[in-house]
Structures are given as C-alpha cells and as structure tokens.
C-alpha cells in the first residue's frame, strides 16, 4: 500500500494514460480512479483494440475528461490534438503496454494517436508491459525492448514491471501487468515532493463589488495580481489550490481551481463551504468594508433639483476573522493594506482577528500595491517578523509562502 506521502506528489500533476489492447486494460478503470484520488488530472488515450476490452465512456466518466481515440479526428484536433496532448502531459503512462505496442514504438511508428504522442512528447514515458509469458520471452520482444532502451535514455523511458504470476491464459511466468496501486505509486515516484504536497491552500484575491443597483456598485482598485501570483506559486510548491476571485482581468493560473464571486457575502459563503478541507487560508482579497443596505431593483435615476443621493451602508462580514475563529479553522493568513502606521495596524489586526500571520504593505506608495507588478511588504506573526524589500509580485509570492510554510510546519509539529 502506497503511503499518502508518496501519493501526494501526484497532486496537480498531468497524467496521460495510454491504454492498448490487452486483457489487463480492464484494470485501467481502477488506475484512473487512483490517479484522480491522489489529485492528478488524467487524460486517457485508447487504441482501437483497447476499446474492445473497456469502453471509452467508462474512462471518460472516471477521468472527467473526453477520451481520445483517433489520430485524424478533426474535432479532437481542433481542441486538444495530439501535439497539445504531448505537450500537456507531465508523465505518459502506457498500461497495458502490449507486445505489438512495444514493437511499433521501437520502430518509431506514428500510425495511431498513442504512438504519435509518444514520439512527440518531451515528458517521461512509463511502460507497464502485459502479455503472455512466452510472448514476453520471445526473442523478437526482447530485441524490441533492447532497442527501446538504446533509443531512449533512462530518464525518458521507464519500465513498470512486468510482474510474475498466473496469467489470464493459465500460464505462469513474467508478463502480468502490475496492479493499479503499484503503478500509481511508481508514477508518483517520478515527481519531487513539493513543500506543500498534500496540502489544500485556499486563496482569496481581487476586489469585491457591492451592488447599489443593476448598473452601479462600490468597489476598490485591487487588481488581484498578488493573490493570483500566490496561487501560482502555491501550485509550483506542490499544493492543491483553490482561488476565490473577485472580478479581475487576470487569467486563471494553470492547475488552479478558480471560483468567481462578486460580493463580500458570496466570498464568505464560498470560504466557509471549503473550510473543512482547507489546510491554509490566505486572504489577499480587498474586501469592501461596507455594502448598501438595500439594492435597488432598477437603475436609480437622477432627480431634478436634488444634488445629493444618500446611500445607507451597512458593515460587511469580516471574512478572515470569521475563518480564523471557526471551530475547523485552518492556518489563517491575512493581508493589511495601510496608508500609515503599518506595523501598528498590522499587529492590531493580527491579534484582534486571531490570525496566524499577516502580510502588510503601505499602499500610499504608488510604486507598489494596487495594480503594480511590484510590491514590498512586512510579514508579522506572533513569534516574529520579516521584511520583504521591493520585488516582483511573483517573487514576493514565493517568499510569502516560504515564510508561511516555516511557521505552519512549526504549528503542526506543536499540535502533534
């Protein structure tokens, strides 16, 4: 049984599973399930003969993605074609890898989708052979295996098995495909463990919009750039990342699950829905402190003779404080955008809102903060502080997360 530690390396990884026409193809349904359970994204490519053993619909249901079956499918090529699939994969796994497939690959054939992907990818390829023991021992098969080992370096082509034992035909010997759990664990071993492997980090980003009427709202100047940079850095460090985003013009970072919201109340509701599975909560969104007490059903019109419009505002919920005081609270990081007395206000928020850490910056400096690609900040936590000089938000995101990890790891050790 694989340890959760090893399997956590599959979090956010992109596995392309190639299934060829062997009886062991039926095991691939379980293999896809295990990959998904470990947090990997899976695309399945099936040869024509593989579809005789297991249906594409089964693999589509389990993977959550369309199954790719044809090299010359115009619809597929208009979407994720063979070159895109080859580029997309972090790891290509062929299970089962039949004698026929090994022969074609050793000859560099590109006459079907799966062989073409193997020729086009720069990613590692892992082969899980499955065939009759006599076919495995055949000089022709062994010659093809020797050719493949010569053509591909060991970091490009790897072998998973075969195992020995009783086969479907009744023979006993080498040629059995490894069990799905073994293939899953070996797949995980291709990847280094990130410092946040196995952790779910939820990040809020961007502004909120508090509606006045159907066409007007109260908001702020937040671009969301800092939160999006943290989301990308967290994925790069191995975390499963959910980004709760107010309205921005930014593209979703790769491998990040994005949930769009508009108002502070929507942000709070979404955060609480995720709280039971959240390990670290980073609240970088710029939430409006107040919202209109009532939202007009129709656009508010100007009234002749009246030079003022009075809108009654009510306080919005404090999202980060609510999360930090929740019975299932994750490690909670707040942000403070201040224009004066940054350290004083940051420490006050840290204690008052029961936060584990707070990142504070002076937004009165026009060279940093809102809409800028650069930032400078101070990080405070109960036992210390760290100054981050002017740097790109991409670089700062990583520095923030490294600081979070050090403090988070200590807090986890202390509770064990």
Give the pLDDT confidence score for residue 4 in this predicted structure. 60
Q: What is the DSSP string of 9-28?
A: GGTT-EEEEEE-SSGGGGGH
Mean pLDDT of 108-133: 92
Domain end (from 132, 162, 188): 188
Least confident of 138-142, 288-292, 334-338: 334-338
DSSP letter (8 states) at residue 207: B
Domains in the chain, number: 2
Task: Identify the pLDDT of residue 355.
Answer: 96
pLDDT of residue 184 exceeding 90, the answer is yes
In a domain, 246, yes or no: yes
Per-residue pLDDT, averaged over 7-35, amounts to 94
Pick from 168, 188, 208: which residue ends a domain?
188
Same domain, 100 and 245: no
Are 106 and 235 contained in the same domain? no
Q: Are residues 110 and 215 in the same domain?
A: no
The domain of 116 spans 4-188
Identify whether residues 35 and 181 lie together within a single domain: yes
Q: pLDDT digits over 243-253, tens only? A: 999 999 999 99
> What CATH number does the domain containing 331 carry?
3.40.50.10300
Query: Are residues 105 and 246 part of one domain?
Result: no
> Given 188, 215, 245, which residue is the final one in a domain?
188
Catalytic annotation, pick one of 119, 169, 273, 402: 169
- pLDDT tens for residues 278-331? 999 999 999 999 999 999 999 988 888 888 888 999 999 999 999 999 999 999
Asked whether residue 123 falls in the same domain as residue 233, the answer is: no
Banded pLDDT at 270 (limits 50, 70, 90): very high
Backbone angles phi, psi at 240, to 5 degrees: -85, 130
Residue 340, pLDDT above cutoff 60: yes
CATH number, domain containing residue 28: 3.40.50.1950
User: Poorest-confidence range of 13-27, 33-47, 103-117, 370-384?
Assistant: 370-384
In a domain, 170, yes or no: yes
301 domain residue, yes or no: no
Q: How confident is the model at residue 197 (pLDDT cuts 50, 70, 90)?
A: confident
3-state secondary structure of 308: coil
Whether 118 sits among the annotated catalytic residues: the reply is no
Looking at residue 19, its pLDDT comes to 97
The per-residue pLDDT for 369 is 56
Tell me: do 181 and 130 sit in the same domain.
Answer: yes
pLDDT at 194: 86
Whether residues 112 and 243 share a domain: the answer is no
Q: Helix, strand or coil for residue 248?
A: coil
Give me the pLDDT at residue 363, please.
72
- Please report the pLDDT score of residue 345 as a whole number: 87
Inter-residue contact 89 to 82 (CB < 8 Å): no
Mean pLDDT computed over every residue of the chain: 90
Residue 367 has pLDDT above 80, yes or no: no
300 assigned to some structural domain? no
* 120 and 41 inside one domain: yes
Per-residue pLDDT averaged across 160-171, rounded? 77
Percent of the chain with pLDDT over 90: 69
Q: Is 194 a domain residue? A: no
* pLDDT value of position 175: 83
**What's the pLDDT at 1?**
43
Residue 247 sits in the same domain as residue 210: yes
164 and 233 inside one domain: no
- 279 in any annotated domain: yes
Residue 297 lies in a domain: no
36 and 110 together in one domain? yes
CB-CB contact of 246 with 208 (8 Å) = yes
**pLDDT-derived band at 366, boundaries 50, 70, 90:** low
Q: Is 299 part of any domain?
A: no
Kindly tell me if the per-residue pLDDT of 412 is higher than 90: no
Cα distance between residue 177 and residue 128, in whole Å: 6
User: Is pLDDT at 82 greater than 80 in this prediction?
Assistant: no
What's the helix, strand, coil split of the chain in %, to 5? 35, 25, 40
Handedness of CA 230, 191, 18, 180 (dihedral sign): negative
């Amino acid at each position: 049984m694989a340890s959760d530690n090893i399997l956590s390396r599959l979090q956010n990884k992109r596995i392309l599973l190639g299934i060829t026409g062997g009886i062991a193809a039926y095991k691939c349904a379980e293999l896809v399930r295990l990959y998904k359970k470990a947090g990997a994204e899976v695309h399945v490519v099936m040869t024509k003969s593989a579809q005789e053993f297991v249906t594409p619909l089964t693999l589509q249901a389990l993977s959550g993605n369309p199954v790719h079956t044809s090299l010359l499918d115009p619809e597929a090529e208009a979407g994720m074609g063979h070159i895109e699939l080859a580029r997309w994969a972090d790891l290509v796994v062929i299970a089962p890898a039949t004698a026929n497939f090994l022969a074609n690959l050793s000859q560099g054939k590109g006459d079907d989708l799966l062989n073409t992907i193997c020729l086009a990818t720069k990613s590692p390829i892992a082969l899980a052979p499955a065939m009759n023991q006599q076919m495995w021992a055949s000089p022709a098969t062994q010659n093809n295996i020797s050719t493949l080992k010569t053509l591909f370096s060991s970091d490009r082509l790897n072998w998973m098995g075969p195992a020995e034992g009783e086969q479907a035909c009744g023979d006993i010997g080498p040629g059995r495909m490894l069990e799905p759990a073994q293939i899953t664990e070996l797949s995980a071993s291709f990847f280094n463990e990130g410092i946040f492997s196995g952790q779910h980090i939820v990040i809020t980003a961007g502004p909120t919009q508090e509606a006045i009427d159907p066409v007007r709202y109260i908001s702020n100047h937040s671009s969301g750039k800092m939160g999006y940079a943290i989301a990308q850095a967290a994925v790069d460090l191995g975390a499963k990342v959910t980004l709760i985003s107010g309205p921005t013009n930014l593209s979703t970072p790769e491998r990040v699950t994005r949930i769009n919201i508009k108002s502070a109340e929507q942000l709070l509701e979404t955060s609480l829905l995720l709280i039971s599975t959240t390990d670290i909560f980073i609240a970088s969104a710029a939430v409006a402190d107040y919202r209109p007490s009532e939202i007009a059903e129709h656009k508010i019109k100007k009234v002749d003779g009246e030079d003022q419009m009075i809108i009654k505002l009510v306080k919005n919920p404090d999202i980060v404080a609510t999360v930090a005081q929740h019975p299932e609270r994750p490690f909670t990081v707040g942000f403070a955008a201040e224009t004066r007395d940054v350290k004083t206000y940051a420490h006050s928020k840290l204690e008052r809102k029961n936060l584990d850490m707070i990142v504070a910056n002076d937004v009165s400096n026009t060279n940093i903060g809102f809409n800028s690609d650069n930032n400078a900040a101070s990080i405070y936590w109960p036992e210390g502080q760290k100054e981050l000089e002017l740097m790109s938000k991409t670089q700062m995101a990583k520095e923030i997360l490294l600081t979070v990890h050090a403090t988070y790891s200590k807090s986890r050790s202390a509770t064990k």
